[in-house]
Amino acid sequence: MKFKTLKILAATAVLAGSMQTVSAKVKTVEKFTTVTESATIVAIDQINKRVTLKGPEGNTQTVTIDPSNVYLANVKIGQQVTATYGVDIKAELRKPTKAEEAEPFVMEVSGGTNNNINDPAASIGATIHVVATIVAVDKDAGTVTLEGPNGRTLTVDIENPKIAKHLKVGKTVIIDYTNRLILKLDPPTS
């Protein structure tokens, strides 16, 4: 699967789009993107309910399917899977609330399955709420570097130059990042 593609989408979406003034002190950027791609089942572990998928670029990823999904018994090596990734990002240029200062990183994971062969075989998602600080702005390169509460940094492109004037070292960006992966098994072909 193209997890590299997802990382790029997530990174560029953080500061992409148009900066809108929500109030005099809050600037917000929102972006939603979906990517759909096909993969081929290359291995099946019925005992552990795992399927290994090979993406279009030859990369592989093993995913766990909910044990209650009866359709997994019908899948075959060589069968096609359609994976749709949805990435929704909201970034606010503002001071964190007291609750956000106390807990600067919150992650919630959700998953599900459906036994109806016309519905997705599995879905998994995560929502991350993080307080990040701008540690560098490179106007010539059109990038900004963010540092999260764990000290890790991420440099992202600023797609809209109009927002660059609002980005200053030391400012706080509150990011809500939600992603969802939906796997749909195509019906067996024999």
Contact between residue 4 and residue 12 where contact means Cβ atoms under 8 Å apart:
no
**In the predicted model, is pLDDT for residue 10 greater than 60?**
no
Please indicate whether residue 187 or residue 145 has the higher confidence score (pLDDT).
145
Structure-token match 């795992």, residue found: 50
CA 125 to chain centre: 8
For 101, list phi and psi in degrees, rounded to 5. Answer: -65, -40
Domain residue ranges of the chain, discontinuous segments joined by +: 3-185
Residue 19: pLDDT above 60? no
**Which one has a higher pLDDT value, 64 or 3?**
64
* Direct distance between the N- and C-terminal alpha carbons of the chain, in angstroms, rounded to an integer: 25
Read off the pTM: 0.62
Type of residue found at 178: T
46-96 pLDDT, tens digit per residue, is 888 788 888 888 888 877 776 666 566 677 899 888 777 788 888 898 999
Mean pLDDT score, 10-23? 40
Q: Which residue has the higher pLDDT, 110 or 94?
A: 94
